[in-house]
Structure 1
């Protein structure tokens, strides 16, 4: 991959290294036609469980990226790396604090061409990530657009991730966010547990991230791949 390694992704599966997944299910995920698999989680992430999951995914040709959420979870060997920054928290450690600490220790080893900052905007107050980071989730449309412009225009972040984690979000709000972004890719994740929701998200976001349903209904998870691809093939690329 290269500096724009994630730019063509429309559908992505996200696997949590703390959660069990069978070899059969993993095979189905990695051969489904999805554009990529992201490994990441909000809790229980360790060097050991990331290495274990990565080694299983690497048997396949699908792109595999790591979302680096802890210092212990910085594992070499992935195709790409996302460094999350929570934009709607008042706690500085989740914006630049932990990231700076990580660069003190691993800065000379970072594969910069395959590393991208990921501006998270967490919009579900019940999400583990929201509680962990004390994110301010009750954003008005005006608040959200201001965050988008900050991330996109001032910070020039390449990815803005709208995270509803476990709840299907307001697609009109996601559409407004995507319209406000000039250069950033809008990733959407949360509550996508069937084809219809996958289509709705694909119509307004650049990249659709499917996660929890993998562990509860694999068939529904796999069906989201075709749904997103149908939207992508029937419309012009958003950017």
Structure 2
């Protein structure tokens, strides 16, 4: 477990890039040289081996750590520093918790760099997001539901990462703070709706790691302000 945790245990700010979205060399340079702790590559739809390889090769020109969120077999590209395998916790469709993952492991289990691979328990909390529609996630979780899901992921399943994903809208920071207080071993990731420094600070006060994605493509300058904003906030206890 220590080997798994080593690369991401101190990440506070991460930029997430989607292989299915265009980003210029100039903007990619700004993102990779921004001081962010890592680049996470992943997306819900349109992710292929070719566009993932292309984005990785461009990021690899920089020293910033680069991780892949493996959302499909087609996107399983070698050469990343770390791999995250998403398990959707708030869906009743078993294929998104173990079905697809088991299928992939039957094919590729012997080739996976296990020392650089970690399970990532997802709570998808925006019902309008593509990921929620794709996986059938129940996004209307209240405080008691969040508590139960955190207990299951952190204390029963011992997942190293729990990712609260609001994908496209800014989430309920009270629920995120509640989750971060409950975890005992997992690192809590938060992503969704961070459009500048103010929301980045709020998210950093609630979660251990802040993921910034869509704003990179909508307003790069605003995205870049989130790096310093997050770094100025102490890690929540």
Alignment TM class, shorter chain as reference: over 0.9
**1:167 aligned onto 2:169:** yes
1:70-97 C-alpha deviation (Å, 9 max, x unpaired): 0111000000000000000000000001
Structure 2 Cα separation of the partners of residues 76 and 19 of structure 1:
20
Q: 1:221 aligns with which of 216, 219, 223?
A: 223
1:31-84 C-alpha deviation (Å, 9 max, x unpaired): 000000000000000000000000000000000000000011100000000000
1:59-208 → structure 2 map (5 Å cutoff): 59-208=61-210
Contact 2:91 2:135 in 1 (8 A): yes
Structure 2 Cα separation of the partners of residues 113 and 98 of structure 1:
21
TM-score where L is the length of structure 1: 0.97
* SS at structure 2 position matched to 1:83: strand
Figure out how many residues of one structure are paired with residues of the other and give that number: 235
* SS at structure 1 position matched to 2:47: coil
Structure 1 Cα separation of the partners of residues 236 and 197 of structure 2:
20
TM-score where L is the length of structure 2: 0.98
Alpha-carbon shift at residue 15 of structure 1 (Å): 0.2
Q: Give runs of ≥4 in structure 1 deviating > 6 Å.
A: none
**1:3 aligned onto 2:11:** no
Contact 2:161 2:187 in 1 (8 A): yes
Contact 2:67 2:80 in 1 (8 A): yes
Gaps spanning 5+ residues in structure 2: where?
A: none
Structure 1 counterpart of 2:30: 28
Structure 2 Cα separation of the partners of residues 22 and 209 of structure 1:
20
* SS at structure 1 position matched to 2:4: coil
Alpha-carbon RMSD: 1.0
Gaps spanning 5+ residues in structure 1: where?
A: none
